[in-house]
Amino acid sequence: MSKILVGIKRVIDYNVRVRVKPDGSGIVTDGVKMIINPFDEIALEEALRLKERGQATEIIVVSIGPAEVQQQLRTALAMGADRAILVEAGSGVEPLSAAQVFLKIIERESPDLVLMGKQAIDDDNGQTGQMLAALWGRPQATFASKLEISGSIARVTREVDAGLETIEVDLPAVVTVDLRLNEPRYVKLPEIMKAKKKPLDQVSLASLGVAASNRFKAVSFAAPPARQRGVAVKTAAELIAALKQRGVL
């Protein structure tokens, strides 16, 4: 296996409290800490481990978004990726458009394996990997909790409702990863400095021949309602009366 392509997305840090804009038009992002989507970081860590075992020679990270995404791509390079590609686009690229972009990059790079997080923590769609596999015409294995490569075969253990399922797919293939696959490494300062010299290419959607058309429109955003204060009751009769008053019974 020569190349592994890893898709990453820039998202709000999961430790940050998300705030809605006063006019309800979106989420406040100014001055907010942004990170690599955690599931994508796990995908990158798995690619790095495959390379360290001698099962890959090059790791390419790809992201779609504004110029600010370079920060997350540099972090990926500091983790150990060899080079990065930023596809310049506005925010809010939908899964189908993202899959079309990744397909164009695949046609240029010819990777043997594409790794992605199973979903992004901002929109929770969980669709890009599946759409990419369909457009590419190659096998897919989703929600991977274990990945083993043997020649031109990927053996993937998946987390499903009934427990664990193990499948084998021919390479090239798309694999989306789950939380328990691994724990991403900590990036040290020397690696951050080295990452500044690694290649980071920027391409436009137009040069790839992809139009990022939006099929869905968010009408408004609103914070979840505040939780109501609990009520203490002394007897079962009081509990039933309280539930009836709230319209639960």
Note the pLDDT of residue 213: 74
Separation CA 30–CA 22 (nearest Å):
14
Beta-strand ranges (E) seen in 49-172 are: 58-65, 83-88, 113-117, 140-150, 153-160, 163-170
The per-residue pLDDT for range 11-70, each reduced to its tens digit, is: 999 888 888 888 887 888 888 899 999 999 999 999 999 999 999 999 999 999 999 999
Domains annotated on the chain, with CATH: 3-245 (3.40.50.620)
Q: Of 69-83, 110-124, 230-244, which gets the smallest average pLDDT?
A: 230-244
- Give the Cα-Cα-Cα angle 139, 150, 156 (nearest 5 degrees): 50
Q: Based on the number of CB atoms within 10 Å of its own CB, is 31 exposed (0-12), middle (13-18) or buried (19 or more)? A: exposed
Q: Among candidates 212, 200, 194, 205, which has minimal Cα distance to 85?
A: 200
CA distances from 213 to 55, 94, 97, 210, 246 (A): 37, 8, 7, 9, 44
pLDDT given at position 219 = 83
Q: Is 39 helix (H, G, I), strand (E, B) or coil?
A: helix
Residue 15 has a CB neighbour count (10 Å cut-off) of 7
Using the Cα atoms of residue 114, residue 149, residue 73 and residue 218 in order, give the sign of their dihedral.
Answer: positive
pTM here? 0.86
pLDDT, average across residues 178-182: 93
∠ CA 176-44-37, rounded to 5°: 75
CA distances from 174 to 63, 97, 111, 147, 227 (A): 16, 17, 10, 12, 41
> What per-residue confidence (pLDDT) applies to 50?
96
CA angle 195, 200, 204 (to 5 degrees): 155
- Rounded-to-integer distance, Cα 38 and Cα 119, Å: 9
Type of residue found at 187: V
Measure the CA–CA gap between 27 and 30, rounded to whole angstroms.
Answer: 9
Lowest mean pLDDT among 6-20, 84-98, 199-213, 219-233: 219-233
| Cβ neighbours, 10 Å, residue 46 | 22
pLDDT beyond 90 at 122: no
Q: What does the pLDDT look like over 130-169, one tens digit per residue?
A: 999 999 999 999 999 999 999 999 999 998 888 899 999 9
Torsion 41-42-43-48 (CA) sign: positive
Mean pLDDT of the chain, nearest integer = 91
